[in-house]
């Protein structure tokens, strides 16, 4: 495979399309000989007016796409909430008071403080609706750029042909409507594709916007940072295999890696300021400790190790359930009932127990981890959006003015169409896999570089996300469903690119 990733068809109106047929004599004359511009009443030229009109039309398409994506929130009559949503909304003011007023707190929670601060000006503990607006606009915009990179002609038509079914038949709309940073995982991976594999389709201002979206998405969640780092390595290997324009690709990958480093540095700096010592994760819950104990090998290791050592976790060994969720989040569980000093000791002991378990039972833990990976890869329902007693109890503290609005929502009455949407997503995914099989031969013969690159990104993300979440945390529908809609997105682009290649007019762009 020696073709360059940069030899795809141009994606913007201001680029020269050398694949178009020979122009007529009149067209050539008009391009070679400057024509007089007709002055308009407002002083603008025809070209300026066409450019402004096109910009408004494209911006309108993106905003309309954002509205379509947010249909679950409108149908629900309120943004979707998850228990973690209340933590993100609550932690922002605590961090802001410490950062700007020097009023420190003993605990700021275990979420991404950058995400908590970023959404604070949008809700101010009054209403979360503006957060849905940001989710929708950024997601709609990055999908617009991706569609344009593959389908430069009639982009508006193709854009809605992609966005409408994705929003209605997959989890895309649900995650845009959810007060969580989950949607910024796909935004990140698509932005990296644009930045590394389709930079020639971006204007200079668009490159800046995409770079900022990468930073914001990486900083929003710890798993995004891990997957972004892995994606940089995967793209570097792809650049080695696909040698064309390797220097430009490596330079772009280096820029993405620097953005990831800056995001990680921002976390370290903020944690250093808040806690007085450098840390990438802050005072997060001991997810890995709960995982290895819940798997079984960690419990067996501790039963042997606790005979010789005096770890704090040994005092709770008989109380720890097999379910990591119960260990971490049950109100009467070990983590929730432990005093702050004990929590800190559990955090310090975490890696000692994890590494000890891996050294003592490497084969068993590997087998269990592979089973979790396989289970997470096929677990992506939309079942996590029913009413939650803890969410309701937090309203008076987090969103006191919105409690009545939430109680009128379909989520609070357990009336959301989760079963229908999960079934629709399953059918859509099955249809997407069938389309891959039908169009794989054509795709392999023509090897359109950007589609090949996007396919590599999506395949890596689907596998890596299942590995990181299933192995390091737990198997949960929400984890994989937040990225699985990228598969139907890729399938739709493959089909539409083939249709455009076979039947599209070579003249003009949308």
Give the tens place of pLDDT for each residue, 432-464: 999 999 998 888 888 898 999 999 999 999 999
Question: In the chain, what is the straight-line distance between the N-terminal and C-terminal CA atoms, in Å?
Answer: 32
Query: Given this model, what pLDDT does residue 142 score?
Result: 98
Query: Given this model, what pLDDT does residue 49 score?
Result: 61
- d(CA 325, CA 306) in angstroms, rounded, equals 23
How does DSSP assign 387-451, residue by residue? --HHHHHHHHHH-GGGHHHHHTSTTTTT-S-HHHHHHHHHHHHHHHHHHHHHHHHHHHHH--HHH
89-112 burial string, b = 16+ CB within 10 Å, else e?
Answer: bbbbbbbbebeeeeeeeeebbbbb
In angstroms, what CA-CA distances link 151 with 487, 501, 502, 504?
18, 9, 13, 10
Main-chain phi, psi angles of 287, to 5 degrees = -60, -45
Instruction: Say whether pTM exceeds 0.85.
Output: yes
- d(CA 479, CA 232) in angstroms, rounded, equals 21
In angstroms, what CA-CA distances link 194 with 149, 213, 390, 497?
8, 11, 40, 17
- d(CA 154, CA 144) in angstroms, rounded, equals 12
Element (H, E) at 267: helix 246-275
Query: Given this model, what pLDDT does residue 247 score?
Result: 82
Query: Given this model, what pLDDT does residue 141 score?
Result: 98
Instruction: Give which of 232, 228, 227 is closest to 254, Cα–Cα.
Output: 232
- Residues of the chain with confidence (pLDDT) below 70: 1-51, 243-245, 505-510
Question: Hey, where are the domains in the chain?
Answer: 57-284+376-503
Whether residue 295 contacts residue 323, with contact meaning beta carbons closer than 8 Å, is answered with: no
Whether residue 187 contacts residue 142, with contact meaning beta carbons closer than 8 Å, is answered with: yes
Query: Given this model, what pLDDT does residue 267 score?
Result: 96
């Amino acid at each position: 495979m020696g073709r360059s990733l940069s030899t795809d068809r141009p994606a913007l109106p201001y680029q020269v399309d050398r694949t178009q047929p020979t122009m007529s004599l009149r067209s050539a004359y008009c391009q070679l000989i400057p024509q007089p511009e007709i002055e308009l009443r407002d002083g603008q030229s025809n070209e300026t007016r066409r450019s402004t009109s096109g910009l408004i039309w494209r911006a309108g398409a993106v905003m309309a796409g954002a509205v379509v994506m947010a249909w679950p929130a409108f149908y629900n009559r309120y943004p979707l909430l998850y228990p973690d949503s209340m933590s993100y909304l609550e932690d922002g003011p605590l961090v802001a008071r410490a950062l700007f007023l020097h009023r420190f707190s003993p605990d700021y929670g275990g979420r991404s403080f950058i995400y908590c601060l970023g959404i604070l000006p949008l809700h101010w503990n009054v209403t979360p609706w503006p957060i849905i607006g940001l989710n929708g606009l950024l997601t709609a915009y990055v999908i617009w750029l991706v569609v344009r990179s593959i389908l430069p002609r009639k982009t508006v038509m193709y854009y809605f042909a992609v966005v409408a079914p994705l929003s209605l038949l997959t989890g895309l709309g649900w995650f845009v409507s959810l007060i969580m940073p989950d949607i910024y995982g796909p935004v990140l991976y698509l932005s990296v594709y644009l930045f590394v594999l389709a930079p020639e389709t971006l204007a200079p201002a668009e490159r800046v916007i995409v770079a900022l979206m990468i930073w914001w998405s990486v900083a929003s969640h710890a798993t995004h940072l891990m997957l972004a780092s892995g994606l940089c390595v995967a793209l570097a290997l792809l650049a080695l295999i696909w040698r064309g324009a390797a220097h430009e690709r490596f330079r772009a990958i280096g820029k993405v890696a620097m953005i990831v480093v800056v995001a990680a540095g921002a976390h370290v700096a903020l944690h250093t300021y808040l806690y007085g010592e450098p840390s990438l994760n802050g005072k997060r819950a001991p997810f890995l400790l709960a995982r290895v104990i819940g798997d079984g090998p960690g419990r067996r290791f501790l039963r042997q190790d606790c005979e010789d050592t005096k770890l704090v976790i040994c005092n709770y060994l008989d109380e720890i359930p097999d379910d990591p969720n119960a260990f971490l989040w049950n109100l009467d569980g070990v983590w929730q009932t432990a005093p702050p000093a004990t929590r800190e000791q559990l955090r310090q002991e975490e890696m000692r127990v994890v590494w000890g378990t891996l050294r003592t039972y490497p084969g068993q833990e590997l087998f269990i981890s592979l089973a979790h990976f396989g289970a997470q890869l096929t677990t992506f329902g939309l079942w996590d959006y029913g009413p939650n007693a803890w969410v309701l109890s937090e309203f008076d503290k987090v969103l006191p003015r919105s409690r009545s609005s939430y109680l009128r929502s379909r989520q609070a009455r357990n009336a959301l169409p989760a079963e229908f949407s999960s079934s629709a997503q399953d059918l859509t995914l099955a249809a997407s896999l069938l389309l891959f099989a039908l169009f794989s031969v054509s795709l392999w013969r023509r090897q359109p570089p950007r589609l090949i690159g996007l396919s590599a990104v999506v395949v890596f993300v689907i596998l890596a996300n299942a590995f990181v979440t299933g192995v390091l945390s737990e198997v949960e529908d929400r984890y994989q469903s937040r990225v699985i809609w990228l598969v139907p997105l890729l399938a739709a682009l493959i089909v539409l690119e083939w249709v455009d290649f076979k039947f599209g007019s070579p003249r003009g762009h949308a």
